[in-house]
Structures are given as C-alpha cells and as structure tokens.
Amino acid sequence: MTVCTYDRRQSLKFTPRESVIIHFRSGGLRAVLFTLLWWILTDGATDSWLVGAPVVLFATLVSVALLPPFSWSLMGIVRFIPFFLWCSLRGGMDVARCALHPRLPISPGLFDYIFRLPPGLPRVFMANIVSLLPGTLSAELGANYLQVHVLDERKDFLSELEKVEQRVAAMFGISLPPSGGGE
C-alpha cells in the first residue's frame, strides 16, 4: 500500500489544491505520532496535555515546514523491521567474532556503490542503515555514490548492498531501475 504524497522533486506534478490536501494529510499523521510521543514521555499524565497539545501542534507545523511530505509505504516499513533486526544481529555477531578472534581475521577495503535511489532522504537513510549492517560502514556520501568501508573485502558486498537498497526503496514506495550498483 503506497500512500500518495510527494517529495520536492516531483512537486510540479501536483496542482496547488492537491498539494494542500497532501500537506494536511501528512501533517495529520505526524500530529498523531507526536501525540503518541508526548503520551510516552509523560506517562500519559492527563494534566500534562495543557502543555502537550500546543507542543504537538507546534512540532507538527515545524516538521511539515522543515521536512515536506514524502512518499512512503506501510508494507515496506513493516517488512523492513525484521530484515533490519536480523541484519544488525548478524552485524554485531560478525564484528564481535572478529574482535574476539586471536588472529583478527579482517581484510578491510573501500569501494564505491553507485546509488539507484533518488537523492535526499532515501540516500541518507540508506547511508545510516549501511553502517549498522554486517561488515559495512558508510564513509562518504558522494553526488551519486556511497563510499563504503568494508571489514572484509573478500565477501560479496555488492549483492548485499543491492538488497538493502531494494528494501529502502520499498519503504519509501520507490521503484528502482533494474540493474545498477557496481564498483
């Protein structure tokens, strides 16, 4: 299920009226999330809402102003969570094994991964995820590539990164061009 909102680059496709609707829908959703956050932070104290309600409203306005609505997919996000948890567990075990091993079995290297994702939030998100995954660390975010430091260059990181990129694209409701990546 893809919720149809837009990002900066595609904004021209929408009429002003549609754009207003999109902003309101996105703002409403964010207001719900901020309300939930306030509820968590205050342990649900009822008398805190005197402060909480204006804060939620202010946070929503600032959030929509700073980060315009972008496309995302609920299914993509739900499917990303177990994938991420499993990958970070593998990443932690892998690096723990290397650190505890007497001979330090690492063979580091650098390589460039050409993005298929569009610029902006999806790329930044992927760069952050890559650092938490097994054996990879994002070193430099270039104009259209991500320089990745790998702990063991004998492993096949390209297909691993392509998989991650595919998952991130699914979260943002983006479809990627078929081939791509590369050194």
Partner 1 sequence: MMLGDYLTVVLLIAGSIFFLAGTLGLLRFPDVYTRLHALTKADNVGLGLMVAGLALQAESWTVVGKLLMIWLLVLLAGASVAHLVAAAARQRGIKLWKR
What is each CA distance from 101 to 4, 91, 98, in whole angstroms?
49, 15, 5
Nearer to partner 1, 14 or 119 (CB): 119
Which residue number, 55 or 141, has a Cβ lying nearer to partner 1? Answer: 141
Task: Enumerate residues 80-99 that contact partner 1 by CB under 8 A.
Answer: 85, 88-89, 91-96, 98-99
- Report how far apart, in Å, the C-alpha atoms of 27 and of each of 23, 68, 177 are: 6, 9, 31
CB 103, min distance to partner 1, A: 11
Where does this chain touch partner 1 (CB under 8 A) — which range of 10-18, 35-43, 54-62, 164-172? 35-43
Strand 72-73 versus strand 2-3 pairing type: antiparallel
CB of 73 to partner 1, least distance (A): 20
Cβ 126 vs Cβ 117: under 8 Å: yes
**Residues 56-85 interacting with partner 1 (rule: CB under 8 A):** 85
Angle at alpha carbon of residue 156, lines to 155 and 161, rounded to 5°? 125
Q: Is 40 in the site for partner 1 (CB under 8 A)?
A: yes
Least distance between partner 1 and beta carbon 20 (Å): 31
| H-helix or E-strand spanning residue 72 | strand 72-73
Interaction between residue 29 and partner 1 (CB under 8 A): no
Tell me what percent of the chain is helix, strand and coil, each rounded to the nearest 5. Answer: 60, 15, 30
- Which residues touch 48 (CB under 8 Å, ≥6 apart)? 38, 42
Of residues 103-162, which lie at the interface with partner 1 (CB under 8 A)? 104, 106-110, 127-129, 131-135, 137-141, 147, 149, 151
Q: Is 54 in the site for partner 1 (CB under 8 A)?
A: no
Number of chain residues interacting with partner 1 (CB under 8 A) = 42
135 is written with which tokens? 């054996």
Binding site for partner 1 (CB under 8 A): 36-37, 39-44, 85, 88-89, 91-96, 98-100, 104, 106-110, 127-129, 131-135, 137-141, 147, 149, 151
